[in-house]
Every structure is written in structure tokens, then in C-alpha cells.
Copies of this chain bind each other. A is one copy, B any other.
Amino acid sequence: MERFQFYCPTKLVFGEGSVSQLRDLILDEYKKILLHYGGGSIKKSGLYDEIKNILKDLKCEVYELSGVEPNPKLSLVYEGVKLAKENDIDLILAVGGGSVIDSAKAIGIGAKYEGDVWDFYTGKAEVKESLPVGVVLTFPATGSESSTGSVITNEEGSHKLSVNSNIMRPKFAIMDPLLTLTLPDKQTFAGITDILSHVFERYFTNTKNVDLTDHLCEATMKTVIKNAYILNKDPKNIAARAEIMISGTIAHNGILGIGREDDWASHVIAHELSAFYGTTHGRSLGIIFPAWMKYVYKENIDRFVQFATNVFDVSVVNKTPEEIALEGINSFIAFLKDIGVPTSFSDEGLPTDNFETMAEKAVNGGTLGRFKKLTKEDVINIYNLAK
């Protein structure tokens, strides 16, 4: 185990009907609120009215900024920062999924900074302060409701960059699994793939003596896979939706990664699919992770044997470690196919003639990952394996 610090002060408020607890979370604490959300879905579902009524009862001054899109944009963040500064906002309330929350976090740090908020993303400035961010989560996937990170796309030059700081963890996250009932299946299962990927990036490590976090990772993966199968048959199963929702938080609040080296190559490699073809984040991870696994498993075959046996219950009788490892990877691929997530470029109908350029952008002159350090050539090989 390596040394670590872990600090996650987000208050989780979980369960059916938990939106009503927004009142107690805001009461006496916040007065001027920037309500930040995407489009019409929260209006259609009634969530928007429920929240507005609570804020009205509390006599809060409410400002609104809607229009957050997947891959949230810097231009909207600038609007939010301006709004927050001009109106002395004391809470940014993000209602939505990861994109809305990431955008709210960006506004939070921008509002407390004299310079350009993009400085944090380019590494020119370090996060020292943020306006408080609160969350009402409608889509479990990115874990942003209690994570340190925010990913923002600068439309000029289409740079997609991230910043991480404990200061950016939301103050509270209201998580009502009922709010996820209206998600299209395609989004549900892309989100589930994203959740699993957050565990993979931590699980596949060469750090020794990490029994506790190994088993916590396996616990989360088993839970996600079991409940994904339940939702695949019965999308309205609220108990399964609850399991997925809380698993999404645990998968990415950092606890599964304490004391271990993490990887993150696959996330970067998959990002290029979104950048080039607009592929949904979760689906691009479904395409890349199986190929990454096939490409790197020989680096540490024991780890992939453990994955196969402890997550997919692969039997070890009369098999070589390599056979067991590959059976684990194939079980994961079969799982993705079962839940309708693409596992190759062709599954998603994507072109396969930009691998060189995509790989060059991905490695950006360096290498990727830590389980196995990947060069540009390695990344091209992985894209080819994912054809």
C-alpha cells in the first residue's frame, strides 16, 4: 500500500423522496442561489417545480443558468461566473448529471478567482477557493456528485481539460433513485459502463498489498454487474436503480483508490472517440476498455486472474493463468454486449481511419497510463484491437 490522504466532505442524502430534504440543507445557510441545469427534462419530470417551490418557500433569491450540454462548454461557464460574481451568489445548485455538476464546479472556482477560470484547467492557477456547490443528481455515471474533478471543453481549439481538488467536492448531493427512472436505457447502460470504468482505472494496478481496496473494488463491480442485469430485464426496478446510483458515487469518490497507483489511460484513449465522433463517454469506454485489457493483461497476469475469479466467478480448474485471464476479459465483453453497449468501433458504426491522429492527440507527446506505460504506437495498437 502507498501513502495517501483521503478527504471527502460531501454530505450524501440518499433515498426516495430525498429532494424534500433540500430545504434543510439550504435553510439559514444559503440565500442567493444559482440554479444550474441542462434542458427541459427536469421541467418535464416536475423536479424543476419541486426545487423552485422549496427555494421560494425559503425566500431565496434564485438566478438560473440552463443549457448545459454533454461535454460542458467553457462559454457557458463564463456566463455562470459572471452571473455569480454580479449577484453575490452563495450556492450553485447543480440539478442534473455529470456535465451539469462539472460545469457548476467550474463556475464555483471561477467565481472566487480574479483571473480567467480556464487557468485552472491549463494548470496556470491552483484551486484555493470555491463557492459551495450543491447537487441534485438525476443521472448516475460520472461520480461528480462527490468527486474532486471537473472536465470542461474549451470550444476554441476543442480542448477538453480537467482539474481536480478536494475544494471542488460538492457540499451535498441529493440522490433519489426515482429521478433516474425516466432515463433512456441507452443512457442508463452508458452510465453503468462509466461507473465500472472508474473502478477499473483503480483496480488494474501493480501496487502490492492492497487487499482492502482490491476487495472493495470487487464488491462494487459485482454489485454494478448484478444490478445492470436486473435493469436490463426490468428497467423500472427501483432497488436496482438505487444500487447503481450509490455504486456510482463509491466508484469515484476516491475511496477505492486509496493507497494504490491508478491508471487512466483508457479514459484518455476513449476521450478521442468523443472528440472525433461525438461518441457518448460511457459507450466509448465500452469500445476501448476490452481492447486495453487484451493489450495489457500480460503485464500482470495475476491481477487479471483475480479479476476473472473474484468479479466474474471464472472457474480455475484445469486452466492456465492466461486462459483464466482471457475468460475474465471475455466475460466483461459478454456483459457489455448483454446490456447493449458497443465493444468495438464497428459496433458503434465509427470510422477506423483516424487512429494515427487520434493516438497522437491522446498521448500528446508523452505516454499514457501506469499499469503499462503506453506510447503512441501502443495506443494505435489498442485502437486496432478495438476495430
Residue from the list B7, B218, B242, B243 in contact with A219, Cβ < 8 A: B218
List the number of copies, as a whole number.
2
Interface size class of A (residues with CB under 8 A): 35 or more
Minimum CB–CB distance for A197 against chain B, Å: 17
B3 & A11 in contact (Cβ 8 Å cutoff): no
The B-contacting residues of A in range 1-49, CB under 8 angstroms, are: 1-18
A53 and B258 alpha carbons, distance in the complex (Å): 29
A246 at the interface (CB under 8 A from B): yes
How would residues 224 to 241 of chain A score, 1 for a CB under 8 Å from any chain B CB and 0 otherwise?
A: 001100000000000100
Residue from the list B3, B8, B218, B222 in contact with A8, Cβ < 8 A: B8
B5 & A212 in contact (Cβ 8 Å cutoff): no
B223 & A215 in contact (Cβ 8 Å cutoff): yes
A14 & B5 in contact (Cβ 8 Å cutoff): yes
A219 and B15 alpha carbons, distance in the complex (Å): 24
A216 at the interface (CB under 8 A from B): yes
A220 and B6 alpha carbons, distance in the complex (Å): 18
A95 at the interface (CB under 8 A from B): no
Given known A-B contacts A4-B12, A8-B8, A211-B226, A246 and B259 have beta carbons under 8 A apart? yes
Closest residue on chain B to residue A211 by CB atoms: B223
> A255 to chain B: which residues have CB within 8 Å?
250, 255
A10 and B6 alpha carbons, distance in the complex (Å): 8
Provide 30 A-B residue pairs closer than 8 Å at the C-beta atoms, listed in order of the A residue.
A1-B15, A1-B243, A3-B14, A3-B16, A3-B17, A3-B18, A4-B12, A4-B14, A5-B11, A5-B12, A5-B13, A6-B11, A7-B9, A7-B10, A7-B11, A9-B9, A15-B259, A209-B239, A209-B243, A211-B243, A212-B220, A212-B243, A212-B246, A215-B218, A215-B222, A216-B250, A218-B219, A242-B259, A246-B259, A250-B255
